[in-house]
Amino acid sequence: MAAIVIADASPLIALARVGGLSWLQQLFTEVMLTDVLTAGWLQTVAIATTEPALPDLDEGEASSIRLALSRNGPALLLIDERSGRAVAQELGLSVA
């Protein structure tokens, strides 16, 4: 399993609803998201590119995919929308 997780906001909201945000901290070395929120151990990362163009996805999913693509090492992408998951998998990303 990847030590780095990149999360879209929706999975974080779902985890928060069931009291599961701390599970991410217990399971992974780093949890990253793109300028959505900050909460101590969650890291926000600004994305400097709008490539690849992902016009069919909302900006949260698109920016999470771009961040995952920009990483040099392996990362697990948490994304809940079916279309976003399909695009991420087509791009060769690990998706949960």
Identify whether 52 is preceded by a cis peptide bond (ω within 30 of 0).
yes
Q: What is the pLDDT of residues 17-32, one digit of tens each?
A: 999 988 888 888 888 8
CB distance 13 to 36 below 8 Å: no
Q: Where are the beta strands (DSSP E) in the chain?
A: 4-7, 30-33, 43-44, 76-78, 94-95
- To the nearest 10°, report the CA torsion of 25, 67, 76, 36: 40
Q: Is 45 left (phi over 0), alpha (psi -120 to 50) or beta?
A: beta
Q: What is the pLDDT of residues 74-90, one digit of tens each?
A: 888 988 889 999 999 99
